[in-house]
Amino acid sequence: MSRTITVAAAQLGPIQKAEGRDVVVPRMLRLLERAHQRGAEVVVFPELALTTFFPRWYHEDLNEADHWYETSLPSPATQPLFDAIRKYGLTVYLGYAELVNDTDAQGVVRKRRFNTSVIIAPSGEIVLKYRKVHLPGHAEYASHRAVQHLEKRYFEVGDLGFPVVRAPVGAAGQPVNLGMLICNDRRWPEAWRVLGLQQVELVMLGYNTPAMNQDNKGFEAHHLRVLHSQLAIQSGCYQNACFGVAVAKAGKEDGHELFGHSIIVNPQGEIIALAATWDDELIVADCNLDLCELGRTTVFNFEKHRRPEAYGRIVEQTGSVPPAVWTPSR
Ligand code: CDV
């Protein structure tokens, strides 16, 4: 019998700054209901799904930004999501801003903030947590930019690595090797490979990607922004013999456009479902997990073909260095 599961990408249209969880959660509930009606067992929501993409807004005092974060899951505002997950027997990826109050040995409370995603089981239990490692942007207000991207201000670098867990998914309880990335992580092959080395079968990832390059360092065409996103996801899936569900928050948030193009990708690197709007939209695909075996046992048989002794620079070095210079002998 084939190991086929039905997965859904639950793309969200824009969430305006003034819109709270009371506006967003009912939209997410409609997507969960439609996912259930279409036979989905796994549903993936975007990065920071419960609010606008708030790192575009500067707060000098970090405490003023606390309302963008969740201090517990579920909370009164997110409990309806957990109720629906239980009702429909779904496995769900949820991206959110996490605020942790850590108490040190002296009893001093320190606030820690992460860009986080969790996998929620059909029982409502948290199966796995991931905290975003590759934080783009900057920590201080950047006056040369038209739009701020303050992820380095609002989040610490994730401290949980890139974990993979084998867990039963959906009401049928098919066991699947599950892993997560968040947005910018998808552009880093190192992140995918760490998941691949744990035999991941399904990588879930949410993103908020501006339709225009906002760094003011040169022009980047709109269509290339989408191409680069898809290239990274398709190659990540192919090179690690896994399925990927990549889900956007899309559309104009307070005048700033995020692109959509949520996709579901198979282990051959093919896009098997693609969102066509910049709004709330559900795309669904059947994923036969046996397809992961082909890559894993042939071209990407890691045990047989990887050469870690030649990869030292990958973990020893962060920035690139100039190469040795060759000069002609005469
Ligand atoms: N939220 C993100 O991580 N966004 C980045 C943008 C800033 C390039 C991304 O990689 O899509």
Q: What token pair was written down for 287?
A: 């994923």
How far is residue 120 from each of residues 30, 95, 129, 148, 262, measured CA to CA in Å?
18, 11, 9, 31, 21
CA 141 – ligand 1 centroid, Å = 17
Ligand 1 atom at minimal distance to the Cα of residue 209: 11
Closest C-alpha residue for ligand 1 atom 9: 184
Nearest Cα neighbor of 78 from 110, 41, 32 is: 32
Cβ–ligand 1 contact at 209 (below 6 Å)? yes
Q: Which of 70, 98, 183, 201 is catalytic?
A: 183
Q: Is 87 a catalytic residue?
A: no
Number of other residues whose CB lies within 10 A of the CB of residue 154: 23
How far apart, in whole angstroms, are the C-alpha atoms of residue 182 and residue 188?
Answer: 11
* Residue 73 structure tokens: 């899951």
67's CB contacts (< 8 A; 6+ apart) are none
Cα of 93 vs centre of ligand 1, distance in Å, is 18
Q: Which of 149, 214, 229, 231 has most ligand 1 atoms within 8 Å of its beta carbon, as the pocket-test mutant? A: 149
Q: How far is the CA of 307 from the centre of ligand 1 (A)?
A: 31
Q: Report d(CA 89, CA 124) in Å as an integer.
A: 9
| Structural contact between residues 249 and 207, judged by C-beta atoms closer than 8 angstroms | yes
Integer Cα distance of 177 and 199 in angstroms: 7
Residue with tokens 């905290």: 131
Ligand 1: does its nearest atom lie under 6 Å from the Cβ of 207? yes
237 catalytic residue (yes or no): no
| 18: DSSP letter | T
Which residue has its alpha carbon closest to ligand 1 atom 10? 184
- Which pair of tokens denotes residue 76? 């009164």
∠ at Cα 128 (122, 131), nearest 5°? 135
- Give per-residue pLDDT as tens, 117-126: 999 999 999 9
Q: Is the CB–ligand 1 distance for residue 208 below 6 Å? A: yes
Q: Which residues of the chain have pLDDT under 70?
A: none
Phi and psi at 152, nearest 5°, equal: -70, -15
Rounded to whole angstroms, the Cα distance separating 160 from 170 reads 25
In the chain, the domains with their CATH numbers are 4-314 (3.60.110.10)
* DSSP character string of 81-100: HHHHHHHHT-EEEEEEEEEE
Give the position, in ligand 1's atom list, of the atom nearest the Cα of 149.
7
DSSP assigned state of 55: G
- State whether the beta carbon of 184 lies less than 6 angstroms from ligand 1: yes
Q: Does the beta carbon of 187 sit less than 6 angstroms from any atom of ligand 1?
A: yes
Which is nearest to 268 in space by CA: 298, 290, 235?
Answer: 235
Q: Is 183 in the pocket of ligand 1 (CB under 6 A)?
A: yes
Q: Residue 2: its pLDDT value, please?
A: 83
Residue 17: phi and psi, rounded to 5, are: -55, -35
Q: Where does the chain have alpha helices with state H?
A: 21-37, 79-88, 151-154, 189-196, 222-239, 292-297, 302-305, 312-316
CB 212 less than 6 A from any atom of ligand 1: no
68: DSSP letter: G
**Does the annotation count 132 as an active-site position?**
yes
pTM beyond 0.85: the answer is: yes
CA dihedral (55, 60, 62, 64) positive or negative = negative
149 lines ligand 1 (CB under 6 A): yes
Whether the link from the prior residue into 74 is cis, omega within 30° of 0, is: yes
Report whether 68 contacts 54 (CB < 8 A): yes
Closest atom of ligand 1 to CA, residue 183? 3
151 CA from centroid of ligand 1 (Å) = 9
First-to-last alpha carbon distance for the chain, in angstroms, is 68
Instruction: For residue 183, report the distance from its CA to the centre of ligand 1, in Å.
Output: 6
Kindly report the backbone phi and psi dihedral angles of residue 10, in degrees, each rounded to the nearest multiple of 5, phi listed first.
-105, 85
Residue 22's pLDDT is: 98
Establish whether residue 155 lines the binding site of ligand 1, counting it when its CB lies within 6 angstroms of any ligand atom.
no
Cα 228 to ligand 1 centre (Å): 11
